[in-house]
Chain A
Amino acid sequence: EAQVTQNPRYLITVTGKKLTVTCSQNMNHEYMSWYRQDPGLGLRQIYYSMNVEVTDKGDVPEGYKVSRKEKRNFPLILESPSPNQTSLYFCASSPSRGYNSPLHFGNGTRLTVT
């Protein structure tokens, strides 16, 4: 089954404790991206990757890191999480950045930073 898989689904952590949210897609998609969803703000892009070893900042990159060492994986790293990073996170992928490439989303990771 074609899918984007995020882990974990739920995560509670404390301020400053490094964490990684994994994302993997099995559709051989070139493009991958991370979003956060907050009430009243919709989905905001954190980072995206056009292909292996190619990453770039989205609208809200502060406090986050990503890597794209292989095509299928795009982990999101929070080196020193803070409470304002409490949010619902989505990983997404698409075959390319063209018009006819809607995003395929994972099921989300709800992160709470205390």
Chain B
Amino acid sequence: DQQVKQNSPSLSVQEGRISILNCDYTNSMFDYFLWYKKYPAEGPTFLISISSIKDKNEDGRFTVFLNKSAKHLSLHIVPSQPGDSAVYFCAASVTSGSARQLTFGSGTQLTVLP
């Protein structure tokens, strides 16, 4: 049973418009959330994160929103650029014993069309 779900395997957006990538989770104990971006033939790279005590975090063109009551987070990219075309993974973190456990979603392939 996947605790972190990205229900859209793919998303296409026109250059300059907003990209919205969604992520749902089931474990209410998750207290930290991250987004990673992955280009082909490379490893994922960290993009942005948010603590559960916040509902929004912004970094340039990237904003992550967290709705704890709905157990939902989203990544907004404004404006979208062709270089943003990649697979985006959301991840959720919780403390388990002495370690923090990180659970990833299945990823969303974003294609930004020029």
Query: A50 is contacted by which of B36, B41, B49, B99 (Cβ under 8 Å)?
Result: B99
Where chain B touches its partner, the secondary structure class is strand
Binding site for B on A (CB under 8 A): 4, 35, 40-45, 48, 50, 56, 90, 92, 97-99, 102-108
A105 in contact with B89 (CB, 8 Å) = no
List the A side residues contacting B89 at CB < 8 Å.
Answer: 42-43
- How far, in angstroms, from A41 to B104 measured CA to CA in the complex? 9
B32 in contact with A103 (CB, 8 Å) = no
| A98 → B minimal CB distance (Å) | 7
Specify which of B9, B32, B104 lies most central, judged by the most chain A CB atoms within 10 Å of its CB: B104
List the B side residues contacting A90 at CB < 8 Å.
Answer: 43-44
Specify which of A4, A35, A103 lies most central, judged by the most chain B CB atoms within 10 Å of its CB: A103
| B76 → A minimal CB distance (Å) | 19
Q: How many residues of B contact A (CB 8 A)?
A: 27
List the B side residues contacting A106 at CB < 8 Å.
Answer: 43
Binding site for A on B (CB under 8 A): 2, 4, 6, 9, 32, 34, 36, 41-46, 49, 51, 89, 91, 93, 98-102, 104-107
List the A side residues contacting B98 at CB < 8 Å.
Answer: 50
- How far, in angstroms, from A94 to B43 measured CA to CA in the complex? 14
A99 in contact with B42 (CB, 8 Å) = no
| B96 → A minimal CB distance (Å) | 10
Known: A43-B89, A102-B49. A108 touches B41 (CB 8 A): yes
List the B side residues contacting A41 at CB < 8 Å.
Answer: 2, 106
